[in-house]
């Protein structure tokens, strides 16, 4: 049953490999739990479901991890209700745990400029510079970045068509610095391209062997420059996405336009970046106003 559900999630719902892998892990963990508790699968009900969520909470897992497990189990049993005659989804009426939403880290403009100045010359330097420029210019996820094909790029108009979560297409835009880096990199790319690999011929970003750069390879490259920059704050490739959203909203972009550019399904996901703007205003106020230091607004 589990393999059928995972196959359905991948082929019909077009979920990513990472999501399907997470589903497998979370569902197997629950099946192991009921086996250890000697609970028959046919006897799983709301009480069992609640006891399992309580078990996860007592295990010290984060709210995000517990909610991810709950989502996977809801999907799994909803699939059984819909296609395999199960009468009730035992997890259906369990609400996700409330989480204290932390404001994401982002780079200030001078930090961003410093990062972009670090790559050197040659194939690797031009590729790495373009990689950082595209992340900042578009707000792409790292998987979207490595999935970019040459045919998806409109250099003349500075537009890239990317494939996001759920295989949803959207358009993102390149600023002049990113376009300049792109043109420079394409010359080096021709020399490095592995002609025996059809996928490499399609890919924008190549590794040192001339084949498509993987998510892991891109992650390693980005973290190398973050470490080289001597960042004190916690940062990752996703910090570029947070930085993109923060900077464009701070400069007056409409939040629904930013939602579209980021590929967010829900506006509430994008709205967290407006809170970053509010926090920035608070700091300015506290620093500038004579009485602000005595108050917590």
Residues annotated as part of the active site: 141, 165, 238, 241, 264, 273
Joined together, the tokens standing for residue 125 give 């330097």
Backbone angles phi, psi at 254, to 5 degrees: -70, 135
Within 37-175, residue ranges assigned H as helices are 46-58, 63-83, 109-116, 122-138, 142-146
- Name every residue whose Cβ is closer than 8 Å to that of residue 296 and which is 6 or more positions away in sequence: none
Sheet holding 159-163, edge to edge: 153-154, 159-163, 169-173
The Cβ-side half-sphere exposure at 4, using a 13 Å CA radius, reads: 7
Rounded Cα gap, residues 137 and 135, in angstroms: 6
Over 196-249, what HEC string results? CCHHHHHECCECCCCCECCHHHHHHHHHHHHHHCCCCCCCCHHHHHHHHHHHHH
Instruction: Reduce the DSSP state of residue 125 to 3 states and report it.
Output: helix
Task: For residue 57, give the nearest of 101, 28, 97 by alpha carbon.
Answer: 97
């Amino acid at each position: 049953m589990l393999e059928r559900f995972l196959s359905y999630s991948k082929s019909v719902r077009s979920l990513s490999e990472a999501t399907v892998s997470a589903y497998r892990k979370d569902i197997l963990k629950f099946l192991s739990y009921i086996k250890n508790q000697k609970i028959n699968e046919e006897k799983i009900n709301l009480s069992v479901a609640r006891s399992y969520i309580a078990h996860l909470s007592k295990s010290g897992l984060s709210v995000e991890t517990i909610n991810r497990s709950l989502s996977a189990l809801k999907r799994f049993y909803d699939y059984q209700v819909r296609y395999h005659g199960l009468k009730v989804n035992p997890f259906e009426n369990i609400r996700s745990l409330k989480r204290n939403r932390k404001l994401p880290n982002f780079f200030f403009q001078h930090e961003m400029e410093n990062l972009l100045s670090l790559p050197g010359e040659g194939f690797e330097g031009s590729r790495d510079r373009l990689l950082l420029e595209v992340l900042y210019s578009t707000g792409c996820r790292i998987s979207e970045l490595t999935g970019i094909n040459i045919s998806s790029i409109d250099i003349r108009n500075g537009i890239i068509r990317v494939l996001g979560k759920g295989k949803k297409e959207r358009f993102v835009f390149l600023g002049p610095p990113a376009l300049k880096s792109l043109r420079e990199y394409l010359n080096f790319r021709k020399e490095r391209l592995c002609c025996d690999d059809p996928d490499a011929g399609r890919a924008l970003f190549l590794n040192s062997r001339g084949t498509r750069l993987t998510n892991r390879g891109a992650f390693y490259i980005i973290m190398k420059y973050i470490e080289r920059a001597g960042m004190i704050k916690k940062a990752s490739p996703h910090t570029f996405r947070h930085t993109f959203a923060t900077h464009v909203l701070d400069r007056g972009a409409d939040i629904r336009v930013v939602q579209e550019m980021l590929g967010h399904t829900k506006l509430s996901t994008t709205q967290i970046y407006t809170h970053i703007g509010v926090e920035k205003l608070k700091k300015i106020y506290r620093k500038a106003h004579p009485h602000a230091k005595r108050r917590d607004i």
